[in-house]
Amino acid sequence: MSILVPEIPKFPLAHIIDVALDWLTSHFSFITKALSHATAAAIDGVVAGLEWLPPWLLILAVAALAWRMAGRRVAILSAVGLLFLWNLRLWSPTIETITLVLMSTLIAVVIGLPLGIAAALSRRTSRVVMPVLDFMQTMPAFVYLIPAIPFFGLGAVSASVATVIFSMPPAIRLTALGIRQVPGELVEAADAFGSSPRQKLFKVQLPMAVPTIMAGINQTIMLALSMVVIAAMIGAGGLGGEVWKAIQRLEPGKGFESGIAIVILAMILDRITQNIGRRSQASAGK
């Protein structure tokens, strides 16, 4: 004789999320539309400006910047890598990807640094922020594309918003970690000399935390680059868009070509930001 077990009703999580998204899009569409237009205009303006410059001139400018910030070897790597991308006829998608990555990284850092500072200086803030970061980092990247579409539609704006959310946690975490790792003796010395909390933060804690903060920015750039590729599915364009086209058309050669271009771009950005962090660490140790 079998025992009938009453079926437990399913919690309507999906329905709640759908209702919440519908309510938000209907009541705050004027804000998202204004933000979408402003972001799209900024992205299009930067892309148009960079594409207006001759590729060789922009390559020289990037190489000079890399030489100044990271040394001769990174400058040569940057120049050779960008010349190769130009030769592959991927210059325009490369410009689109660089623009989207750097703008998303800038927004993520502008939001992430103050949150990281607040989490480092306040235990209460840290208890609220850290579980949210755990949630953001464990959520699959594709899920971030879903709410971005009803708010901002298809295109680069949705890709930028999803990229900012996905890439922000390292900037927050490593900013907080860098401030917490400042030696207690230095903080006590600043207190002994009568420094205000603002003076202590900007003259002792943040300068000493710069190498760790730069490591967080480096990770933010790498995550932004990976997310921009995924966001090609919602019309982000760029090198990710070229990979997505190759998948749809079953063109493995072009897919690998675009993938190698993304790797080259990632190496250039990674080496530049890593060397900036090393130089900051060396200057902090003097």
CA–CA separation, 157 vs 74, rounded Å? 31
Closest CA to 246 of 238, 237, 236, 256: 256
Give residue 161's pLDDT band: very low, low, confident or very high (50, 70, 90). confident
Question: Which of 28-37, 155-164, 276-285 bottoms out in mean pLDDT, i.e. has the lowest?
Answer: 276-285
Instruction: Decide which of 3.40.640.10, 3.30.390.50, 3.40.50.720, 1.10.3720.10 is the CATH code for 22-285.
Output: 1.10.3720.10
Give the pLDDT band of residue 57 (cuts 50, 70, 90): very high
170-204: pLDDT as tens digits = 999 999 988 888 887 887 787 777 777 788 888 88
Enclosing H/E stretch for 223: helix 206-230
Residue 277 pLDDT > 90: no
**Residue count of the chain:** 286
The encoded tokens of residue 257 equal 């070509």
Q: Whole-angstrom Cα distance, residue 114 to residue 62?
A: 29
Average pLDDT, whole number, for the chain? Answer: 83
Query: H-helix or E-strand containing 159?
Result: helix 156-180
Query: Is the pLDDT at 147 greater than 80, yes or no?
Result: no
Q: pTM of the entire structure? A: 0.84
Amino acid 286: pLDDT = 54
Q: List the chain domain ranges.
A: 22-285
